[in-house]
Amino acid sequence: MKDILKRNNVRVFGEGKKPMLFAHGYGCDQNVWTSITPAFEKDYQLIVFDYVGAGGSDLSAYDKERYSTLKGYSKDVLEICDALSLKEVIFIGHSVSAMIGVLAANDRPELFSKLVFLGPSPRYINDEGYVSAFERDDLEGLFEMMDNNYLGWSQALAPQIMANPERPELGQTLSNSFCATDPEIAKQFARVTFLSDNRADLEKLTVPSLTLQCAEDIIAPLAVGEFVNTHTRNNQLVILKATGHCSHMSAPEETIEAIKSFI
């Protein structure tokens, strides 16, 4: 148990008993939740963690084969739940963690009571009858840029992802988070994330879920949020006024209100 909690730098706090598990998105760590968690501390048991390669996680635990698909990350989520004997978990997943949560809940639906998706995308590449954010060539260019100059890539892309130009400090915070992630692990995680296709997994989900969709999001556009809502049983869609891909950082009050209304 200690190994799992150390591996993922797990932190547990809050005064309540019902667990809320917060899972950060690509290139981030548990610190992205600092504007969200205070609103739930009095009523819930809160669990935050870092995926292997991010934040204060144990880098020596990285296994290239295990983490070659999102299933490796969903296995981590389940192992954290088991290590802490969690039940009836409210799972809050940002970006790629939304689909990691879907995979975990499909494997062990009895562990979860509700799932909240912030900016989810089951597939990042356009497909016949499916509109997303990228063409395959776009991503190959992105990967090439990452391989050649990861720090430059981080500093260039983070402000676009955050999409709040009047608040440049938000883009800088995200860029700093990208830069704090182990570059080699980040490159592999990028490929695993952006080349994944979890559309079929949505249809298997039985746990009630909420999709929080930002009004403008270059990573997960509105059509993707609508696809998630349409193809997932018991899913509610809320379109936020917030722009960008990180409403928990740029619009925490609006994000908190939507989560509270759902749970």
Domain ranges of the chain: 2-133+196-262
Instruction: Give the per-residue pLDDT at 147.
Output: 87
Instruction: Give the per-residue pLDDT at 24.
Output: 96
Compute CA distances 93 → 57, 128, 130, 188, 240, whole Å. Answer: 18, 27, 23, 20, 16
Instruction: Give the per-residue pLDDT at 178.
Output: 64
Instruction: Give the per-residue pLDDT at 186.
Output: 87
> pTM score, two decimals?
0.94
Question: Is the Cβ–Cβ distance between 81 and 174 less than 8 Å?
Answer: no
Q: Which residue has the tokens 């190959």?
A: 140
The terminus-to-terminus CA distance of the chain in angstroms comes to: 29
Banded pLDDT at 174 (limits 50, 70, 90): low
Q: Judge whether residue 2 has pLDDT over 90.
A: no
The active-site residue, picked from 245, 247, 248, 250, is: 245
Q: Judge whether residue 179 has pLDDT over 60.
A: no
Per-residue pLDDT tens for 56-96? 999 999 999 999 999 999 999 999 999 999 999 999 999 99
Question: Is the Cβ–Cβ distance between 119 and 212 less than 8 Å?
Answer: yes
Instruction: Give the per-residue pLDDT at 159.
Output: 61
Is residue 245 annotated as part of the catalytic site, yes or no?
A: yes
* CATH number of this structure's domain 2-133+196-262: 3.40.50.1820
- Say which residue, 190 or 116, is predicted with more confidence: 116
Per-residue pLDDT tens for 97-142? 999 999 999 999 999 999 999 999 999 999 999 999 999 999 999 8
What's the mean pLDDT when you consider all of the chain? 91
- Say which residue, 249 or 176, is predicted with more confidence: 249
Per-residue pLDDT tens for 226-245? 999 999 999 999 999 998 89
Amino acid in position 123: R
Read off the pLDDT of each residue in 214-219 and give the average, rounded to a whole number. Answer: 89
Is residue 95 annotated as part of the catalytic site, yes or no?
A: yes
The active-site residue, picked from 29, 50, 201, 217, is: 217
The active-site residue, picked from 57, 74, 95, 175, is: 95
Question: Is the Cβ–Cβ distance between 192 and 69 less than 8 Å?
Answer: yes
Least confident of 70-74, 174-178, 214-218, 252-256: 174-178
Distance, in Å, from the CA atom of 192 to the CA atom of 205, rounded to the nearest integer, reads 21
Q: Which two tokens stand for residue 100?
A: 């990691």
